[in-house]
Amino acid sequence: FVRALRSKGRKQLSPPGPWSFPIIGNLLQLGDHPYLTLMEMRKKYGDVFLLKLGMVPVLVVNGMEMVKQVLLKDGEHFAGRPNMHTFSFLAEGKSLSFSVNYGESWKLHKKIASKALRTLSNAEAKSSTCSCLLEEHVTEEVSELVTVFVELSSKNGGFDPRNAITCAVANVVCALCFGKRYDHSDEEFLKIVKTNDDLLKASSAANPADFIPCLRYLPLQIINAPREFYRALNGFIALHVRDHLATYDKDHIRDITDALINVCHNKYAATKTDTLNDSEIISTVNDLFGAGFETVSTCLCWSFLYLIHYPEIQAKIQEEIDGNIGLKPPRFEDRKILPYTEAFISEVFRHASFLPFTIPHCTTADTTLNGYFIPRKTCTFINMYQVNHDETIWDNPSLFRPDRFLNENRELNKSLVEKVLIFGMGIRKCLGEDVARNEIFIFITAVLQQLKLKKCPRAKLDLTPTYGLVMRPKPYQLEAELRSSGSSSA
């Protein structure tokens, strides 16, 4: 790499970084857990360094202050997405999350999608006992999940909870996006759950064509598989959106698709450029569908794994539930009165850091960072895992200890909770943070209110993740038994 670049007649340094091989760059050095390798490299090169992944220079950013500099203070300069082969499948040029086209129309797109999510979150529930439609959908799904857990446990003893969790979360997303839930054995539903899974696996396996551009022209399965999965998913979503367009009634918003149509077909929209066309509506639903599915179900898989690994923590959550809400179905507003449960969820986010990096960013203009010159279109990785395991912020970061988030009065330490980096921050921050936090809270509390979860006798639990865009735990089995009401004997 060129260590010194000349810009506007001034000598400007490029960030430090390891020596790299021609063509493959530093790809082979990353190992099975790149976020850990990059944490090690930070010890030598500091918070900001430069690698070459294949032929692509990649800026790596670590450390809370430097991450804030990049995502907040200098956010506009780092708000783009790189032109990666895998993203081009997912995006087809229109995606909110992956498209390389950052600018005014992207900002409008994000605003419209946020408004649609908010409209729906505030939409009235059908039943008077729920505060909103989202709460109602989640409550319905968790009650089905409890039944499935009990059935699986009584049939098989130990069982792998992954499928049941994925179906329950997928159903929340389907209900949110299309106002429709499916039976867990419905073929169309299972096909879509599997396609989403295949898409994620295919996009998570480092696609060599992302980093060695000439490979994208080769007709290889590893390079082109995501395109087929994406098309199948897009077809399913397009069908639902078209059906909604035909039956839309502005006085009766059924779901996110209706909410998006409502925003976009609003006759008060000042000009055509203030809105999305129908194919952009389809791609936005696609973005929300994809983003709200794997993230939440992976978080729940981790949560249940920690709960059976640390039965004493499970017992404390149940004690808090029994003492503060008893047998009444949990509601979003109960988050305020269950601080230990909230602390547990924050500790799962921090300790598992199942999204180790944000989606890759890209510079939108030449800029400087920490005194280094960063050219326009530099792919940028934000190492959230490092921030969540930084010893200068977290006492004994490798320990799983929800109590770290409580103050001496056993209240939630909100400023520490905000230091956990899992939804990103700034312009590209996750759009679904509130939905996700509320949904995860209801799933965990409603399951623990009714069930005691246990590891199978003699089973060894492994807390090392499988690396990917979203890191899942290795498959594990648990046993579920109905609790006698009000007891907390996990």
Asked if 199 and 230 touch (Cβ cutoff 8 Å), the reply is yes
Query: Interface with ligand HEM includes 162 (CB under 6 A)?
Result: no
For the window 338-357, what string marks contact with ligand HEM as x by the rule CB under 6 A?
A: -----------------x--
Q: Which residues lie below 8 Å from residue 83, measured CB to CB, with a gap of 6+?
A: 100, 362, 377
For the window 65-104, what string marks contact with ligand HEM as x by the rule CB under 6 A?
A: -------------------------------xx-------
Residue that is written with structure tokens 């898989």 in the block: 301
Residues 145, 296, 313, 321: which binds ligand HEM (CB under 6 A)?
Answer: 296
The least CB distance from residue 486 to ligand HEM, in Å, is 30
The least CB distance from residue 254 to ligand HEM, in Å, is 16
Strands 48-53 and 56-61: antiparallel
Query: Interface with ligand HEM includes 15 (CB under 6 A)?
Result: no
Distance CA 326, CA 469 (A): 38
Number of residues that bind ligand HEM (CB under 6 A): 22
Strands 361-362 and 56-61: unpaired
| Closer of 424 and 468 to ligand HEM (Cβ) | 424
Q: Hey, is 453 helix, strand or coil?
A: strand
Distance CA 27, CA 221 (A): 20
| Closer of 87 and 211 to ligand HEM (Cβ) | 87
Tokens, residue 66: 């430097």
The least CB distance from residue 434 to ligand HEM, in Å, is 9
Q: Hey, is 250 helix, strand or coil?
A: coil
CA neighbor of 290 nearest in space, from 90, 116, 141: 90
The least CB distance from residue 11 to ligand HEM, in Å, is 32
Q: Hey, is 50 helix, strand or coil?
A: strand
The least CB distance from residue 428 to ligand HEM, in Å, is 4
Query: Interface with ligand HEM includes 297 (CB under 6 A)?
Result: no
Query: Interface with ligand HEM includes 288 (CB under 6 A)?
Result: yes
Residues 64, 325, 359, 416: which binds ligand HEM (CB under 6 A)?
Answer: 359
Q: Which residues lie below 8 Å from residue 290, measured CB to CB, with a gap of 6+?
A: 90, 97, 196, 199, 233
Distance CA 64, CA 84 (A): 26
Q: Where are the alpha helices (DSSP H) in 265-403?
A: 278-309, 311-324, 339-352, 384-388
Write out the binding residues for ligand HEM, residues 423-452 only, by CB under 6 A.
423-424, 428, 430-432, 435-436
The least CB distance from residue 489 to ligand HEM, in Å, is 30
Contacts with ligand HEM by CB under 6 A lie at: 96-97, 110, 287-288, 291-292, 295-296, 299, 355, 358-359, 422-424, 428, 430-432, 435-436
